[in-house]
Structure 1
């Protein structure tokens, strides 16, 4: 700090600092003068005027000390405010990098997935915001009888606000896979322009991995037969590596991994869920953020009813 103050002296750009240094020099002179007086012999009459000015000298010293202390206090406070502002800016930048991550890499399109956990979504606010949302995945059903309480409202609103929408079923591994598909099929009506059906598989089965895979593949085959397109499989990176890898390669993969794209370099993914802490205008809670690795045209090609759909494998 002292080097900074000294470097400012020649140009006198800061009047306060100049005044402070003026008082410092004056104080040094006065102190040397006082020391000289005390070290000399008894003062004669010609020093009476000097003795009378001691009060002025002391007052000047007090004022100088007060000014210097104030300047240093202001300097420290200013630096602490700058540091605080910098930290706040970094935190804001971190949030914005999540909120607008698709802006940082034009190779990826951006979408979110929602359920009743997000509560009532203000779709008009979300649509009018600058957030680059290209698609929305919506939870519809869970297990053999679970239904997301916000599914129908979200499904209608997503279409109304012209988002590419997809419905996903949360798979309960210890329940009958055929009945689980029936729950999904009687709830979800997919039309041209919608994504293929999506199966969300995250939990191991108490009956073992073999039975888990048999149930998952049964659900996927039933969905493909009904809707005429290959369903999408959602799962976590570790779950995929340890339980599903090598068994679902015929289906587009939506993989969850939150440590950047490097974690999924060894996976042939179509969608990547890169965060669960994205803030979106119009939604009161954090949501999951997802990337699509191809172009908008190919995103549309993936939808039901597109003439190119059957020609795509949707792999990275």
Structure 2
């Protein structure tokens, strides 16, 4: 009788949960197409198996300071039939600048963009969840939460999302967690040494490198004009690109004032960038 019960219990698990977990140890790179994405993404290389792998990997962000680490906590659970993945989940981020003094990261402005690249096999068609949280370490209070749903996908799939934060205070930190379809928390990521600054009061350049441009506004309605002020004595070539890297407009910004008309732009986040990838964010609503 015990053998019969064991057979009836284990066969569904074996059929649903058959997977070579050594794959996790070898599959540590982004899918090929992702490496061809437009510049501007900082890849975390943080790997989140949704269930059962028993490993927790944390890599330095490539080509950046060795003192900036992305940490994962070992909170992986045992294999569960409803939460199996075919691949890893990668989280990238934009609008985080490296701080030269500490090698850490600073969030400049009140908008940050996340890109999640993942594969998910869910036998019961259950969805996974990624939770983005801004919490304060000093007061242990949560200030912002956003949940992103991951649908089952057998091929590499990308989700891009923008999140807008409230005013920042000392001790604020950004956390990312991934919940598997089985409901267990399979990975938690937080960015170490993050200095979350207050939202700038003006639209002057907020990057680490100076650019002689200012914008009249960065949140506009479609059809409105944005005035660009070039304080340099020579013209600058600028590119207006979409959030996914598509170049939709080139313009020459002469010394003095130039006008960018947003007529025809669909709502979304755009970047106005120069040859050196120093950008302004323009949010069209």
Normalised TM-score (structure 1): 0.20
Greater strand percent: which structure? 2
Structure with more contact order per residue of length (Cα contacts < 8 Å, sep ≥ 6): 1
